[in-house]
């Protein structure tokens, strides 16, 4: 799900562009545009490193999140950004960078911290066949190699694991306006594993094509690869318009069920006075998604007595950000809504409420009280958040954020937690115990985000 750091052409910053100018002689797309303000983009305008053929990147994401529900097991439910309540958490440590030499290019980014477990656990594909793909790949957030062709304004061909654009937000929290992503972003892919081709017909346009294993999956669920693409248009440095579209077969063991998804975003910076000690910038981002699954027992947007119940995804999110004092401070507010009958994109609850396959017995679920995700099961959710951020320089930021989330069914961790009556996995489950899932939560997040 998202806009990210790209090696030769960087949608959101000019860092890697500047590093590679000596080896790429053609005119570079988006060169000269200030995109550091964009939601989901690198806010740095330069790199502290000046190393031939390699631009290093180091990121550290640490948070403390207080849950008003105060679950006894400290487990966060329904988030890929957070894992533990009411305690310090090293969410992500990323090391790597971009390599380039005479058109040859590669990017390697490792990931350590809770995200190396939180994100892989949502992928069913490792349960097909042999080899533990979840552990093979969990410590890599990006790893691809490719070549840049000096044609038009550039063509990049890359193979490996790369970031998804669906859902606008970046996988790296230092690039996002909000810390806890809205449902639209948190329930769509963070990464793809496969092949991409980036075409830059003009200095303001990118067209990207994908042939991948599947929807945020290390492996392939059936025999059909996921197919899709991205179109990004920046007519000037104050406007960004993009669309992402995907088609695949991502229901394990159901090759006749196909998924379509369309993700669309508009970002506008409507005020800019960089040197102001008052308000220095104002911008908003608006994202809308629509999609469905059809075949093998489900029927897209309508319920049919023969073909099955409706199974679709409809969502939207909006955020507004105001920068102050020469962009040293920022205030963001916004939120979103999601409807997902069939729950095929809902992040499943953690712990004993998890419907994920049991690693020791994939024919059973990991929890004894799994969250239902059958055709026809309904799910709606909405969220609202606001945060204040202090950015003394482009490499460090301190953020405090308030988030309220609600769902149409019990979903979030309540005070009783989702693990056991004591909160520990070592405690035997007595008869009658069930995970304590509730319909709403309030939380305060404190985060320190470092990038260099």
pLDDT digits (tens, 9 = 90+) for 232-262: 999 999 999 999 999 999 998 899 999 999 9
Euclidean distance between CA atoms 264 and 301, whole angstroms:
19
Name the residue with higher pLDDT: 361 or 424: 424
pTM attached to this predicted model: 0.91
Q: What is the DSSP letter of 35?
A: -
**What is the reported pLDDT for 361?**
58
Residues in contact with 225: Cβ distance below 8 Å, sequence separation at least 6, in sequence order? 194, 211, 212, 213, 214, 248
Q: Is the pLDDT of residue 185 over 50?
A: yes
Which residues are within 8 A (CB) of 117 and not within 5 positions of it... i.e. 6 or more apart?
Answer: 83, 138
With a pLDDT cut of 90, the percent of the chain lying above it is 81
CA distances, 52 to each of 16, 99, 219, 287 (Å)? 12, 9, 35, 38
How high does pLDDT run on average in the chain?
Answer: 91
Query: Would you call 90 helix, strand, or coil by DSSP?
Result: strand
Give the model's pLDDT for residue 174: 95
Query: What confidence score (pLDDT) does residue 46 get?
Result: 84
Q: Residue 165's pLDDT band (boundaries 50, 70, 90)?
A: confident
Residues 6+ apart with CB under 8 A from 431: none
Helix-then-strand count for the chain, H and E: 4, 21
List, in sequence order, every beta strand (DSSP E) within 340-439.
357-358, 361-365, 380-393, 396-407, 412-413, 437-438
Locate 11 and state its tokens: 């949608």
Say how far apart CA 26 and CA 110 lie, in whole Å: 31
Listed residue (68, 60, 29, 12) closest to 440, CA to CA? 68
Confidence of residue 22 (pLDDT cuts 50, 70, 90): very low
For residue 17, the model assigns a pLDDT of: 42
Q: What is the pLDDT of residues 95-120, one digit of tens each?
A: 999 999 999 999 999 999 999 999 99
Residue with structure tokens 């062709």?
149
Tell me what pLDDT residue 47 has. 86
Give the mean model confidence (pLDDT) for residues 158-170.
96
- Say what the pLDDT of residue 283 is: 98
DSSP bridge pairs for 447: 63, 399
Report the first-to-last Cα separation within the chain, whole angstroms.
Answer: 24
The answer to whether the Cα torsion of 177, 182, 187, 188 is positive or negative is negative
Confidence at residue 16, expressed as pLDDT on a 0 to 100 scale = 43
pLDDT, mean of residues 32-41 = 94
The pLDDT of residue 24 is 42
- 87-92's contacts with Cβ under 8 Å and 24+ in sequence apart are 88/62, 88/63, 88/64, 89/62, 89/63, 89/64, 89/65, 89/113, 89/114, 90/60, 90/61, 90/62, 90/114, 91/61, 91/62, 91/63, 91/115, 91/173, 92/59, 92/60, 92/61, 92/116, 92/172, 92/173
* Full set of structural domains in the chain with CATH: 15-451 (2.40.160.10)
Please state, in angstroms and rounded to a whole number, the distance separating the CA atoms of residues 414 and 405: 13
Mean pLDDT to the nearest integer, 307-326 = 97
Give 157-203 as a DSSP string.
EEEEEEE--TTS--SSGGG-S-SS--HHHHTS-SEEEEEEEEEEEET
* Cβ–Cβ under 8 Å, residues 372 and 379: no
> Given this model, what pLDDT does residue 50 score?
87
């Amino acid at each position: 799900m998202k806009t990210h750091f790209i090696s030769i052409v960087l949608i959101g910053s000019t860092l890697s562009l500047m590093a590679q100018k000596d080896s790429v002689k053609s005119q570079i797309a988006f060169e000269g545009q200030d995109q550091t303000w964009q939601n989901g983009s690198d806010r740095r305008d330069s790199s502290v490193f000046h190393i031939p053929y390699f631009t290093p990147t180091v990121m550290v994401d640490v948070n403390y999140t207080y849950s008003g529900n105060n679950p006894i097991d400290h487990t966060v439910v329904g988030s890929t950004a957070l894992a533990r309540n009411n305690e310090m958490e090293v969410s992500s440590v990323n090391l790597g960078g971009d390599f380039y030499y005479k058109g040859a290019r590669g990017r390697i980014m490792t990931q350590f911290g809770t995200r190396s477990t939180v994100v892989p656990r949502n992928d069913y594909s490792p349960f097909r066949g042999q080899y533990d793909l979840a552990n093979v790949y969990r410590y890599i957030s990006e790893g691809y190699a490719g070549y840049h062709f000096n044609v038009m304004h550039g063509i990049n061909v890359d193979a490996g694991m790369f970031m998804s654009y669906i859902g606008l937000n970046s996988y790296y929290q230092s690039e996002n306006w909000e810390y806890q992503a809205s449902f639209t972003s948190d329930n769509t892919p963070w990464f793809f594993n496969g092949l991409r081709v980036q075409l830059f017909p003009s200095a303001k346009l990118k067209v990207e094509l994908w042939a991948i294993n599947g929807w945020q999956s290390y492996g392939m669920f059936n025999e059909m690869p996921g197919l899709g693409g991205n179109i990004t248009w920046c007519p000037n440095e104050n406007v960004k318009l993009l669309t992402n579209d995907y088609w695949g077969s991502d229901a394990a063991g159901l090759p006749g069920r196909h998924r379509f998804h369309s993700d669309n975003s508009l970002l506008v910076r409507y005020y800019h006075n960089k040197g102001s000690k008052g308000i220095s910038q104002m911008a908003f981002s608006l994202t809308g998604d629509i999609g469905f699954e059809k075949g093998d027992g489900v029927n897209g947007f309508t319920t049919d007595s023969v073909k099955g119940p409706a199974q679709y995804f409809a969502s939207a999110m909006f955020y507004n950000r105001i920068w102050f004092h020469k962009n040293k401070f920022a205030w963001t507010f916004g939120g979103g809504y999601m409807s997902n009958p069939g729950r095929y994109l809902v992040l499943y609850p953690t712990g004993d409420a998890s419907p994920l396959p049991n690693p020791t017995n994939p024919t059973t679920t990991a929890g004894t009280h799994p969250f239902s995700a059958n055709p026809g099961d309904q799910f709606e959710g909405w969220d609202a958040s606001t945060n204040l951020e202090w950015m003394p320089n482009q490499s460090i930021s301190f953020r405090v954020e308030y988030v309220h989330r609600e769902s149409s069914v019990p979903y979030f961790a309540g005070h009783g937690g989702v693990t056991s009556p004591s909160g520990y996995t070592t405690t035997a489950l007595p008869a009658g115990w069930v995970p304590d899932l509730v319909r709403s939560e309030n939380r305060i997040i404190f985060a320190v985000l470092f990038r260099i």
